[in-house]
Structure 1
Amino acid sequence: MSDAAAIALPASIRVFERGWLSSNNILLVDEDRSALVDTGYATHAAQTVALVQHALAGRTLDTIVNTHLHSDHCGGNAQLQSQWSCETLIPAASESAVREWDEARLTFRATGQTCERFAFTGTLAPGQRLKLGGFDWEVIGAPGHDPDSLMLYASEPRVLISADALWEHGFGVIFPELEGESGFAEQQAVLDAIAQRDVATVIPGHGAPFANVGAALERAYSRLAWLRADPARNAKNALKVLIVFKLLEVRALRFAALEAMLANAAVLHAAARQLAPESAWPALLRELTGELAKSGALVLREDGIEAPANAT
């Protein structure tokens, strides 16, 4: 975790770059109010509160904005709401799922992840505008990675808060495609929408803010074309990402627990079905974890896997 400073951002915008278990947090402060865009994962929630407290230096947090409701972007909502009586704005398309706290629709159960229940006070939809950090932000729909996801764009500082729609080297897993729904076409449209705007700096959901937006878009278009050429690549990537995410949370997993995740978590189950018959899932897990071990993402044990000592 670091307070990203390599890219020159307006003084009213501060980025807390987090490890991959939590999304980045973007703190925007002006004379009228303070707001935090995305709140990280549940196991990092106390740290998120401490970071925000320190940065606000006695001011209250007035607003939480969630770009989307994957657990690594909204897992700190509940603790922040306990600390401050702040309004919370979520994507309008997720409103009923949060009101009913439908963990299946919210994907927490489907991905084997957790999120403490939180409330919301309002919603955001594409085309709306927000005043945050002294700037006017356009709300842009960003389906692809998540059907309900949003981005925020401010034309005056030419800053895009892209969530998981664009990273410096790619974008988030295209989850709808795992369950037979359209996602690749939507991701293409989102990249096109970014390309049509005058963006000088991107604040991604993961990784440091970056300025070479054209090069990042080229890499993203190339990766998307590669995934569309063979959708099994998206499924394989999804399983690897979700295995590493769970490992960052629990630090060690037995192969039996991984097999149980494939059986019981709907998103992992759907991804595994695209790659192999259920009888071959133990071998599939050995193959995937072996590849992750070679890349340094995890350490293989005889009976399971563990996180590397330096993993965050």
Structure 2
Amino acid sequence: MTNTVSAPAPFGRALCAMITPFTATGTLDLDGAQRLAARLVGLGCDGLVLSGTTGESPTTSDTEKAELIAAVREAVGDRASVVAGVGTFDTRHTVELARSAEKAGADGVLVVSPYYSRPPQDALEAHFLEVADASGLPVMLYDIPGRTGTRIEPETVLRLAGHPRIVAVKDCSYDFLGIQKVLARTELAYYAGCDEHNLALYAVGGAGYVSTVANVVPAELRAVLDAFEAGDTPVSARLQQRATPLIELMMAAGLPGAVTAKALLDALGLPAGPVRAPLRPAGREATEGLLAAYESLTAG
């Protein structure tokens, strides 16, 4: 017996929040980005989210962002969706990035709440609507109040759902009740933005995930969704549980996901390179712990 998944998934179900590879000297590594993107898609990713939190978007230039989109689009063709992170604390700049992403070949845009200024809900709503009106691309809202300082409240999301181009939410709110309230009243596609919620959100009608951990174990995370869709909930739960130690080390052990993902990718000989300041690379002990957890997960 299969589990019928009826939730809309406009960008696919298994999405990776891809790191931005840099060369040893810190410049944008477009060849590495293409190789990594092709690998991720080949191992089960339906979509790639570029220039998000894990992609170190605050430290890449507008030109680099556009070049990255074009390079990844060329590498994956129509085998996967390409979603571009365009969110900033400036509505005008966000609009410019959305238009640039459309020209560069993106399939959609990820728009985070404006950070630092902490706009009230009416201003937040106006910001998202202006960005959605600025291009022809579908929009994925990014709710991550732990980083931005501002929650996109469920009532605000319900109003925004009326816009024809606002189609999805990447959720890092840790408000599971609020998510389900919106799911019950809209057709929005909800993507887990915290890897520990991948299966739980999917099971209540979510679209899938946008995963940092997928940079290193794309097939293992995709297997969780595949098992659930096949109707084998116990297997999907076991697969999610097996991934938990690596998820914890990568996402909840004190280092940002960009740092831990790049440390592991470098250790595995895959495109990554350094992080840009103010981030700093993972130390030897942290990297060894990550590698041990990775090997434990992929050995079985």
Compute the TM-score of the two structures, normalised by the length of structure 1.
0.35
- Structure with bigger helix share is 2
Which of the pair has the greater relative contact order for Cα pairs under 8 Å at 6+ separation?
Answer: 2
Q: TM-score, normalised by structure 2?
A: 0.36
